């Protein structure tokens, strides 16, 4: 399982670097800084919203489903991650 996690993390890192390279090659040199700034802003926003959404979902499932809701969020996140891996 650890080997799969390492492999997945390296693939995600490679994809992120290739996305940045594609964005930099598709934008004129004069606008590259602006586009990279906008991309970093959205990335930072998503890094803030992700943990907030997961913690709210975790609290909601514990409140409404009790102890059975404890694993529901983790199963949902793992299913979402599997879909992300299949999509790339």
E strands present in the chain: none
Q: What integer pLDDT is reported at residue 88 of this predicted model?
A: 62
Strand blocks (E) in 30-84: none
Position 49 scores a pLDDT of: 92
For position 8, what pLDDT does the model report? Answer: 76
Whether the full predicted model's pTM is greater than 0.75, yes or no, is: no
Return the closest-CA partner of residue 27 out of 36, 18, 15: 36
| pLDDT at residue 45, as a whole number | 93
How far apart CA 78 and CA 75 sit, in angstroms, is: 5
For the chain of 88 residues, list the mean pLDDT of each consecutive stretch of 10: 80 79 88 89 88 86 81 82 75
């Amino acid at each position: 399982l650890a080997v799969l996690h390492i492999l997945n993390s390296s693939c995600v890192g490679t994809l992120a670097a290739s996305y940045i390279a594609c964005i930099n090659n598709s934008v004129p040199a004069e606008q590259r800084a602006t586009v990279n700034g906008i991309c970093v802003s959205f990335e930072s926003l998503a890094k803030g919203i992700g943990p907030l959404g997961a913690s709210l979902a975790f609290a909601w499932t514990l409140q409404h489903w009790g102890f059975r809701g404890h694993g529901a969020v983790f199963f949902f996140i793992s299913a979402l991650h599997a879909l992300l891996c299949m999509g790339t």
